[in-house]
């Protein structure tokens, strides 16, 4: 069994900070669960374009609000506590936050640990692992 606490993980390299978000990766590839699990904070008033061409991602909004735009169709969906979206087609998308958003995120295949977006908004398949 694996038991971890967000507050403890926040003090380790599991917490990755980027320009518009930060994310604490509670489960990673080396946990051998077949997915990774993260608690992500999207900073208030930000816009992030992403394209996870190497991963499938599902996101659940715990708190805060904003919207997600599917750039292929221009369709926009409000995000509020309780909203889930799944990027089942590796969808190119823009995430906008009105207020700080707390999100629970799952990635398949699992992240190694230290991934940040490249210039296309993707994560590489093989990135550096965190120290365990
Ligand atoms: C919602 C989203 O994709 N935010 C970017 C960070 C990502 N969730 C991560 O790396 O944990």
pLDDT digits (tens, 9 = 90+) for 73-121: 999 999 999 999 999 999 999 999 999 999 999 999 999 988 888 888 8
Q: Residue 132 — pLDDT band, cuts 50, 70, 90? A: low
Query: CB within 6 Å of ligand 1 — which residues?
Result: 21, 23, 38, 40, 50, 57, 59, 95, 103, 105
What distance in Å separates the CA atoms of residue 127 and residue 53, rounded to the nearest whole number? 15
10 pLDDT higher than 70: yes
CATH for 84: 2.60.120.10
pLDDT digits (tens, 9 = 90+) for 21-50: 999 999 999 999 999 999 999 999 999 999
Distance 23 CA to ligand 1 centre (A): 7
Give the total number of structural domains in the chain.
1
Query: Which residue spans within the chain are E strands per DSSP?
Result: 15-17, 21-27, 36-42, 47-50, 56-63, 66-70, 76-79, 84-86, 93-97, 101-108
Q: Say if 127 falls within a structural domain.
A: no
Is the pTM for the entire model greater than 0.85?
yes
Q: Say if 39 falls within a structural domain.
A: yes
């Amino acid at each position: 069994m694996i038991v971890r606490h967000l507050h403890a993980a926040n003090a380790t390299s599991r917490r990755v900070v980027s320009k518009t978000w930060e994310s604490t990766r509670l489960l990673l590839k080396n946990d051998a669960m077949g997915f990774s699990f993260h608690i992500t904070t999207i900073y208030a008033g930000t816009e992030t374009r992403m394209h996870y061409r190497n991963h499938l991602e599902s996101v659940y909004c715990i708190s805060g609000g904003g919207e997600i735009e599917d750039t292929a169709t221009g369709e926009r969906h409000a995000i509020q506590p309780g909203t889930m979206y799944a990027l089942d087609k590796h969808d190119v998308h823009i995430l906008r936050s009105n207020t700080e958003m707390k999100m629970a995120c799952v990635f398949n295949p699992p992240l190694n640990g230290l991934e940040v977006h490249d210039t296309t908004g993707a994560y590489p398949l093989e990135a550096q692992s965190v120290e365990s």
